[in-house]
Structure 1
Amino acid sequence: MTLKQLEAFYWAATCASFAIAAERLHLSVSSLSKRISELEGGLGLPLFDRRSQRARLTPAGEKLLPRAQALLQHAQTLRAAIAQPAEIEGVCRFGVGELTALTWLPKLVAAARKRYPQLRLEPYVDVGGELRRRVQNGALDFAVIAGNPTSPSIRALGAARYTWCAAPALVGDAVRISADLLGRHPLVTLPREAGTTRILDDWLTASGIATAQPLTCNSWGAVAGLLLEGIGIGFLPVSWATALAQRGTLRILRARPALAALPYAFSHRDDDTRPLIDAMYGLARRTVDFGMAVRLL
């Protein structure tokens, strides 16, 4: 029994598939399967039931899993205590929302490439709900998602601010968001699984507005385009809305109360103690800036 065999078993057991586990360990699927087979041979017991489409743990595998996790964590602690810091290398697949992608993601990638030249970065852009699922099933190493820290694996990162806005031709002389405006025009916004849902729901409740006509789209760029076209009323990041208002193509609408700031966090799996995670969190803390101007606007 070796640490590499236990590592192969552990990630295969906790990722959505052997293919994802192999990518996490920078192995081919056949090499991963070979390590697991060698471990099973040494124990004299099957650890996975491979009769179904997705391999499932046998009773022996269920019993071994927490022990393998503990051994791997002890090994990582030992390495950190007595060895020189390892160079961060390999592949890092991580998720961000579109706002991060269009603001400070380039700074993060540039900083990581400079600090860890042997690390290959593969950003993935989606809404928060999907990013959470991909982190938990092992497809992503970490994700930057909306929300407050609720566990050691969800770490505070920053906050984004938004403001209501609409095309001047749509709202006439109105300078304030109101129930009347939202009753007459669609509310253009991201889908329910997006992090902005929480600040929108809180604002509607505080404003006493029970319903609105939602027109949802999973792209901030598309939301901005729909607002510019006068399709409806919505909110955008403050820096975006300010730039467009200065051009006269959108009008910022005052609101009382204002939309709350939306906190963001760096999220990874509870059991992922690799140096990569701390390294990327440190870089994210140094580069995060949701108020950056968008070069595409």
Structure 2
Amino acid sequence: MNLRFLETFLWVAKLRSFSSAAEKLHTTQAAVSNRIATLERDLGVRLFERDLRTVRLTPQGQDALRRAEEIVRLATEFRDLAGDGSRLRGSIAIGTVDTIVYAWLPRLIEQMKNRYPNVSMDLAVDTSLNIARQLQEGTVDLGILMGPVIGPDIHNLEICSFDCVWFAAAGLDLPAEPLELSDLVRVPILAYSRGSQPHHAILRLLARVGIQPDEARIYNTNSIATMIRLLCDRVGVTTLPRCVVQEHLDAGRIREIEVNAAIPPLHFHAAYAERPGNPIPAAIAGMAAEIAADFRAATETGPA
């Protein structure tokens, strides 16, 4: 049985269109139709019901789909294991968030370059909400974000978490520590983008001590660079992972402040959709997990 024909079957089933599958596989619709007809003849069953508008799996097609997915997955893993990384070719669209950029993303890109030299990358930095949507729509192959992402065929690999610490500019005038949230609302609170997990966590902390959102000035941004600049310029206070601001902390531009309120740790996932015949997202997700673990170990033990 031809593996390429099975991959074609998977794409037609996923996209519900012979023409869309042909476009995805860079072939003709006639070639796709011929592959499916050959499969149906070899298997002795009808895999699809066809009409003018759509293509639907038959009950026999549903049964065959699960088996075909397993065969293609195993064949892909075998090809990847049998060769070295230089034989893996293609491209990957990665969506990630600022926190990962400031933590260990450069290490991931460097390792990708060394292990998979023939894989090209499109990288976008966005909010977790937008990356999750793009992953569900299929415009992103791998998301490294505050997850998990729920959707058909989407796999989530929990890769790291970061504790958040409160920071203020070194010269910002604040009451004596430890501080209460009521002390902090005297100045703006610089927060992640509206609707994000840490933004909601700050709102819950305020509500817990009876502070309404309109009684606090929360400045939201999807750019950590902007947040840090405002922090250093004494515009407000913020709570971020220490690794994000370590350079400014070491330079004495900002300082940790003790606050009797903490937002929960930020949990990050590598999320990717299973694509027939494409092992690249899963391979890079596994690499991200390795690098995140190494980064955590290095930051916990400190320099030798």
Match of 2:89 in 1: 89
Shift of 1:224: 1.0
Equivalent-residue separation in structure 1 for 2:234 and 2:224 (angstroms): 15
Q: What's the C-alpha RMSD, in Å, of the aligned pairs?
A: 3.8
Please, which runs of 5 or more residues in structure 2 have no aligned partner?
39-45, 300-304
Match of 2:251 in 1: 247
Match of 2:169 in 1: 167
- Which secondary structure does the structure 2 equivalent of 1:184 belong to? coil
Equivalent-residue separation in structure 1 for 2:251 and 2:177 (angstroms): 16
Match of 2:43 in 1: none
Amino acid at match of 1:5: T
Q: Is 1:8–1:32's contact at 8 Å kept on the other side of the alignment?
A: no
Q: Is 2:141–2:281's contact at 8 Å kept on the other side of the alignment?
A: yes
Task: From the superposition, tell whether residues 203 and 32 of structure 1 become closer, same or farther in structure 2 (CA, over 3 Å).
Answer: farther
Match of 1:197 in 2: 199
Shift of 1:62: 5.6
Give CA deviations for 1:224-254 in whole Å, capped at 9, x if unaligned: 1122222222222213444424433223221
Match of 2:273 in 1: 269
Q: How does 1:1-297 map to 2 (within 5 A)?
A: 2-13=5-16, 18=20, 25=24, 27-28=25-26, 31=27, 33=29, 35-36=31-32, 46=50, 49=53, 58=54, 60-61=55-56, 63=58, 66=62, 69-79=65-75, 85=82, 87-147=87-147, 153-205=155-207, 209-211=211-213, 212-269=216-273, 274-288=278-292, 289=295
Equivalent-residue separation in structure 2 for 1:12 and 1:271 (angstroms): 11
The higher radius of gyration belongs to: 2
Q: Is 2:188–2:235's contact at 8 Å kept on the other side of the alignment?
A: yes
Task: From the superposition, tell whether residues 78 and 250 of structure 1 become closer, same or farther in structure 2 (CA, over 3 Å).
Answer: closer
Give CA deviations for 1:72-123 in whole Å, capped at 9, x if unaligned: 3033145258766364321111211111123211111111221122221222
Match of 2:302 in 1: none
Q: Is 1:166–1:232's contact at 8 Å kept on the other side of the alignment?
A: yes
Please, which runs of 5 or more residues in structure 1 have no aligned partner?
50-57, 293-297
Amino acid at match of 1:178: E
Amino acid at match of 1:3: L
Equivalent-residue separation in structure 2 for 1:69 and 1:95 (angstroms): 29
How many residue pairs were aligned?
Answer: 275
Amino acid at match of 1:265: H
Shift of 1:277: 3.5
Equivalent-residue separation in structure 2 for 1:124 and 1:265 (angstroms): 16
Between the aligned residues of both structures, percent identity stands at: 19
Equivalent-residue separation in structure 2 for 1:251 and 1:68 (angstroms): 60
Shift of 1:139: 1.2
